[in-house]
Structure 1
Amino acid sequence: MWNLIFWIICLLINFGLLAIVFYALLCLTDLEVDQMDPFVATANINRWILLEFALQAALSILLLFTGHWILFLVAVPLTCYHAMLFIRRQHLIDVTEVFRNLNTDKKRRMIKLGVYMIFFTICVFSYLHSHTGSRQSLCCLYRSQMCMN
């Protein structure tokens, strides 16, 4: 039961991280095609950066304390990267340099989106495995009549 609750919490955190990164990419793309003012775009992105860092740190701490070592090792490099950006005070997007760093910021966020998607997929399959029990395989999830035997 606790394992199931753990995976639901991980899924919710991952969904939040995916939404934040996707929103930032959307703002950067709108900025690139002149659909959004640079001041508005940077304000919209900077508003969510600290929440993204906090969610990523919470996910890493949750994985560490629950003993999911492999997933912790997957999540901790991005958490360390976020901590490094925060310590160097490079985590916020500057309005005066937003166009110069636009492609770099988009590439970084695309990489983060890919990492979060992979992690989300792992969490979904782990949730399904936890939900169906260890005796059933994921192949039998939708064929419950055949798996009961």
Structure 2
Amino acid sequence: MGDIFIWLISFFILIALLVLIVYQLMCLADLEFDYINPYDSSSRINKVVLPEFILQGVLCVFHLLTGHWVMSLMCAPYYTTM
């Protein structure tokens, strides 16, 4: 029963991450269609970058603490090491 709650928490964190990414994409689409200027777009995107990084770190540590090693490695931010 505890495993279900772990995966539900993980699911909701992933949904929150997806919402943040969709918001960033909407800001970029507004910028592309000239609805907002580049300064406003970058300030809106910069406001959600730190919460996105924090949620990603929380998800990675959450999987690490619950013993799901493969999922922890899969959600680790590997793109910053390239």
Count residues in correspondence.
81
Partner residue of 1:4? 4
User: Alignment RMSD, CA only?
Assistant: 1.5
TM-superposed CA distance for 1:42, in Å, is 1.1
Which ranges of structure 1 fall in alignment gaps of 5 or more residues?
A: 85-149
Paired with 2:10 and 2:58, the residues of 1 have a C-alpha distance of 10
Structure 1 position 42 matched with structure 2 position 55: no
Q: Which amino acid aligns with 2:12?
A: L
TM-superposed CA distance for 1:80, in Å, is 6.7
TM-score by length of 1: 0.51
TM-superposed CA distance for 1:79, in Å, is 6.2
Percent identical: 36
Alignment of 1:9-88 (within 5 A): 9-76=9-76, 78=77, 81=80
Tell me if the contact between 1:57 and 1:79 (Cα under 8 Å) persists in the aligned partners.
no
Paired with 2:41 and 2:30, the residues of 1 have a C-alpha distance of 8
Q: Which has the higher contact order (CA 8 A, sep 6+)?
A: 1
Tell me if the contact between 1:13 and 1:59 (Cα under 8 Å) persists in the aligned partners.
yes
| Structure with the greater alpha carbon radius of gyration | 1
Q: Which amino acid aligns with 1:40?
A: D
Paired with 1:79 and 1:73, the residues of 2 have a C-alpha distance of 9
